[in-house]
Chains A and B, each alone.
Chain A
Amino acid sequence: MTIHRSGMPDGPPSPGHSLPPASRWLAGALGVGLAAVFNLLVPGVAQVVPYMSFHLVLPVVAWFSRSLRVSWLAVLVSAVCGNILSMPPFGRLTLTSGAVGAALAFILIQTVFTLSVVLLRRRMADHELLLAQLRTERDRLLSLLAQAPIALVIHQGPDLVHEFVSPGAQQLAQRPMLGRPLREAFADLEGQGLLQRIEAVYRTGEPLIVSEQRVRLRRDDGREEERYLDATYTPLRDARGEVEGVLGCTVDVTARVEARRELERSEQQLHRLSSAGLLGIAEFRGDRIVAANPRLLEMLGYPPDAGMPEGGISWKAMTPPELAETDARAIVEAETTGRNRTFEKQFVRRDGSRVWILGGSTLIDRETFSGVAFVVDITAQKDAERALQEAHQFEQRLLGIVSHDLRNPLASIQLGVDLLARSSLSEQQLRTVTRMARSAERMHQLVAGLLDLTRLRAGQQLPVTREPSNMHLLVERAVEEVSVADPGRISVTGHGEGTGEWDTIRVGQALGNLLGNALQHSPPRSAVRVSVEGGPSEVHVSIHNGGAPIPPEQQEALFEPFRRGLNPGALDGSVGLGLYIAWHVARAHGGTIEVSSSAAAGTTFRLILPKRAPPAKAPGPAPEDSTRGVVVAAGSASSVSGVA
C-alpha cells in the first residue's frame, strides 16, 4: 500500500481530500472578488482600514484551495486591489498617506499567514489519509485472518492468557479461549508435552517450531479426536526487549498426514506385490520399459537380480512381427481411453524363446505415452491349450482317416460276398455268406456313423438334401429294413397327411436308428408300436417299446455320442452313435426328438420334423428343455473335408 504524501507545492491532489485545480483557482478568484466587492460597497469602513476585508478572506481561500500558488496570487491581487480601491476615483486615500508601507505590510503578513494556513491544512489532510489507510489495512488483515486456514493466537503474560484468537484458531480448538490462560483452555492437552514447550518459549524467549505434532483433543460431546499440527510459537517482546507474550501460528495438517500414510500403505502393498514374484510390473514410456520388477525381468529373459538394463527394454522390439498389428490396436485403445483392458500377447525373449503374458495397463501421461502395466506369465496355460487343441485335431484327423480308409476294404468284402452269393453254394455256405454280408453291412453303418461323428465334432451340421417325400412311406421302408433281422415285432399305425420335404436317406437313417434302439432295448419278441401322425406343418413319429424305463438322470445324456443305454453287453455292433446321429438328423431338419419313459407307460421316442425347411437360415432350434435331447456338441477345431 502506497501512502500518498503531498509534500511538494501543488503536488498531486490526495483523493477525496482536496479540490481539483480549476476549483482552487475558482475559490481564489471568488474570495478575492468578494473582498473587492465588499470594499466597493462599503467604502466608509473599508477605506479607513483598506485591507480589512482581504485579511478576512485570504485565510479562507488558503484553507479551501490548499494551494500555495493560488494563495500567493490571491495575496498579490488583493494587495493591488486594496490599493486601487482605496485611491481615487474609488477611495480617498493617496500614496502619500503611507499606502506603500501598508501594502508591503499586508503582503508580508498575508504571505506568512496564508502559507501557514495552507501548510497546516495539508498536514491535517495527510493525517486523515494515513488514518484511513491504517483502518483499511487493519480491515484487510482481519479479513485475511478470518479466512486463512491458519490458526493464530496471541498469548499474553506468564499464564499465557489468550489475548487474540483468530477464527481459524477458534475452528480448530472449538472451545472458549479469549481471556483464558493456556492451561485452563487446553486442560485436555495435559501430559501431551506441547503445553510445557509453549511455556518454555515464554520463559526462554526461544521460538518453537513443531512439525506434524500429534495432539488428542477432547470435543464437547466427550469423544477424543486425533489431529496433526504444524506450528510455530514466537516470543513477543515489549519495547525493552522483555518477553511479554507468545504468538502462536498453527496449521491443521491432519488430512495431509492421513493421505500420506494411505499412500505409504498402498506403496507398501505394491512393493509386497511386486516382490511376491507373481506379478510382473512395468513402468513404460513410449515403446520402452523404463522400470521393471524382478519378476518381469525374469519373464522377459533377463537376470532378475541384475536390475534394469541401461536405457530400458524396448517392448516393441520384443514383440513378434505377427502381433505388431494387435499391438497397434492396443496402443490406439490406450491413447483413446487411457487404459488397456486385459490383453494377451507374446514376447520374444533374448534367447529366442517365447513367453505368453496376460496383462493390463494404465496410461499416466498421454503426451509421453507413459504408464504402468501389470502382467502375468500364462505360457503354461497357453501350452496346455495348444496341446488340447492339437489332441482334438489329431482325434478329428484319426477319426476321418479311420472311417474313410475302412471303406475300401469294406467295399471289397461287400463286392466279394455279393459275387460269392451269385455262385452255386451249399445251404451252409449260403448261410455263411449271408452272415458275412450282414457283418459287412454293420461295419458299413459303423463307418458311416464315425464319419458323421467326425463332421459333427468338427462343428459342422449334417448336410441335408431335401426332396418331396411321404413319411408314411419312409417309416414303412425303415420298418421293413430293420424287420429283416428281427421280424414280426413292429406294428405301424398312421393317419394324417404325411407328405413333406426331407433328406430321405438321412431320415431313413434316423428312423432305422430309433427303431433299432427300440428293438434292442426291449425284451425279445415284445411288441414295438410305431405311429405316424401328419399335422399341418409337422409330422410326429412315435416309437414305443415296453422295455425297462430310462432313469430320468440318464435321459439327458441319451443323445450324447458313445452311449449304449442300459444294456452295455448288447451285441448290436454299435458304438452308441445311433441316437446321437438320429438327434442331429432331426436338428438338421429343424426338428427334434423327445423322450418319455416310465415303468407304467414304457418308453417312447418321438421324432418331430417340420414338413418344410424353415424360412430363416438353415440350422434348426437348439433343444429348449430337458425332455428334448441334450447334446454335447463339438467345439471348434479343424474340419475334415474332402471326398474319396
Chain B
Amino acid sequence: MTHANPARAVLVVDDDRDLRELVADVVEDSGRHVFTARDGADALQQIETDGIPRPCVVLLDWFMAPMGGRAFLEHLASRADAAEFRVLLLSASTATPPVDLPLPVRGRLHKPFGLEELLGALDRLG
C-alpha cells in the first residue's frame, strides 16, 4: 500500500481505549507518525509540550470526558498555528453534524468504520 505522505503526523483523540489503540495501530501500519490522547485536554497538552510535528491530522472523537470535541476545537482555534491541524471527526451518531464549529473540520467518519474507510479518509486529507 502506498501513501502520499507517509511521514505525516496523526493525533488520535478518543476516550475509548480499545478503539484509540486499534486506530493508532492501523494508522501506524500505514507509515504515519501516530500520537494518542485520551481526551481533549490530554491532546492539547501534547500539542503544547510534546512537539507534535506540523502539519498534523487530528482524528477527534466528539463525546469525551472530561474535555469533549467542541471544547478541544475551541482551544485549538485560539492557537496561532490552528491552520496546521486538519481535523477529522469520529462520530458515533448519524444525527445532523454539529454546527457553528470554532474550527472547520475536514471530514467525518461514522462509527463503526472499516479499515479501508479510515485509510481512504486519511489519504484524502493528504
Contacts and interface: CB of A to CB of B under 8 A. Distances in A.
Indicate whether A and B interact: yes
A135 B116 CA distance: 127
A561 to B, nearest CB: 17
A411 B16 CA distance: 10
B118 interface: yes
Contact of A642 (B16, B22, B95, B116): B95
A641 B90 CA distance: 17
Given A412-B19, A419-B25, A644 B111 contact: yes
Given A414-B114, A415-B113, A644 B91 contact: yes
A70 B113 CA distance: 140
A49 interface: no
Given A410-B111, A643-B62, A644-B61, A416 B94 contact: no
Contacts, number: 83
B51 interface: no
A141 interface: no
A414 to B, nearest CB: 4
Interface in A397-442: 404-405, 407-416, 418-419, 422, 440
A500 B15 CA distance: 42
B57 to A, nearest CB: 17
Contacts of A451: 93-95
A444 interface: yes
Nearest to B19: A412
B111 A407 contact: yes
Nearest to B23: A415
Contact of B112 (A410, A422, A455, A463): A410
Nearest to A460: B95
Contacts of B93: 404, 451, 642-644
Contacts of A410: 111-112
A80 interface: no
A408 B25 CA distance: 16
A411 B111 contact: yes
Contacts of B80: none
B112 A413 contact: yes
Contact of A419 (B19, B94, B111, B115): B115
A644 B118 CA distance: 17
B95 A412 contact: no
A156 B113 CA distance: 121
B18 A422 contact: no
A416 B114 CA distance: 9
A332 interface: no
Contacts of A422: 115
Contact of B111 (A408, A416, A641): A408
| Pairs A-B, 4 closest by C-beta atoms | A644-B92, A418-B115, A411-B112, A407-B92
A414 B92 contact: no
Interface in B69-126: 89-98, 111-116, 118
A570 interface: no
A444 B14 CA distance: 20
B40 to A, nearest CB: 14
Contacts of B25: 419
A409 B21 CA distance: 12
B92 A419 contact: no
A492 to B, nearest CB: 27
A185 to B, nearest CB: 98
Nearest to A451: B94
Given A411-B112, A415-B26, 20 more contacts: A404-B63, A405-B92, A409-B18, A412-B19, A413-B112, A414-B112, A415-B19, A418-B115, A418-B116, A419-B22, A419-B29, A422-B115, A444-B112, A448-B94, A451-B94, A642-B95, A643-B91, A643-B95, A643-B98, A644-B111
Contact of A414 (B16, B89, B98, B113): B113
Nearest to A404: B92
A415 B94 contact: no
A422 B26 CA distance: 11
29 contacts: A404-B63, A404-B92, A407-B92, A408-B18, A410-B112, A411-B111, A414-B112, A415-B23, A415-B26, A415-B112, A415-B113, A415-B114, A415-B115, A416-B22, A418-B114, A418-B115, A419-B22, A419-B29, A422-B115, A444-B112, A448-B94, A451-B94, A463-B95, A463-B96, A643-B91, A643-B93, A643-B95, A643-B98, A644-B63
A412 B62 contact: no
A642 to B, nearest CB: 7
Nearest to B108: A643
A553 B48 CA distance: 66
Given A463-B96, A642-B63, A643-B62, A415 B22 contact: yes
Contacts of B63: 404, 642-644
A47 B17 CA distance: 167
A449 to B, nearest CB: 11
A452 B23 CA distance: 27
Nearest to A444: B112
Nearest to B119: A418
Interface string A304-344: 00000000000000000000000000000000000000000
Contacts of B23: 415
B19 A411 contact: yes
Contacts of B116: 418
Contact of A644 (B62, B114, B115): B62
Contacts of A418: 114-116
Contacts of B14: 408
A407 B61 CA distance: 12
A470 to B, nearest CB: 24
Interface string A67-110: 00000000000000000000000000000000000000000000
Nearest to A421: B115
Nearest to B61: A644
Contacts of B61: 644
Contacts of A412: 16, 18-19, 22, 112
A641 B93 CA distance: 9
Contacts of B91: 643-644
A201 to B, nearest CB: 100
A71 B56 CA distance: 146
